Structure 1
């Protein structure tokens, strides 16, 4: 095989390897950003979450935890055994309205949970 053909093949292989390495770096960076920003918080391992904190708001019992890796929070809200609500704020604020009592719950990605009791119709 001529020497120039071998050099061309080696140069092509090096360019392909460089392009593949750049692609791997870009995809990895995209995954890290998605997890850190909260949009893929559901994919984070269990150890990335802080402890559950218990509390109460407007007569409801609440359990909230915040991710230590990214912009995300989770909340479980209970009204006795009558109603259970789960909120997931992954990168953006989450809201839900209870069915039993007209209460709107809001969870922010930093773990702040608020409730606003609506007037009865």
Structure 2
């Protein structure tokens, strides 16, 4: 959000210094908004790596690594949203983990193979 707001503010400030008519400045700002949003989403990508070795589910995202033992996973919910998926991993003991899988401008990942591996281990998986 901060990138989008600052990008639009910079464009508006630069246009305020130009001698164009106000209508032209407003139109340029409106046409620049999709480019600013595209740039902000591209810049704020956070790649993640998921692996399931049969006993543990490991999620690596930036400098954070979460390892959840298979025996502690109650079930997993995959909630589809417009920009991606919200994966909620419920544990038998402890709190649940929420991970956002952003599909916008991302390469294809291994979600389907991870789902197949989880279902092969008889872990309940709900695709909603």
Q: Same fold (TM over 0.5)?
A: no
Which one has a bigger Cα radius of gyration? 1
| Higher relative helix content | 2
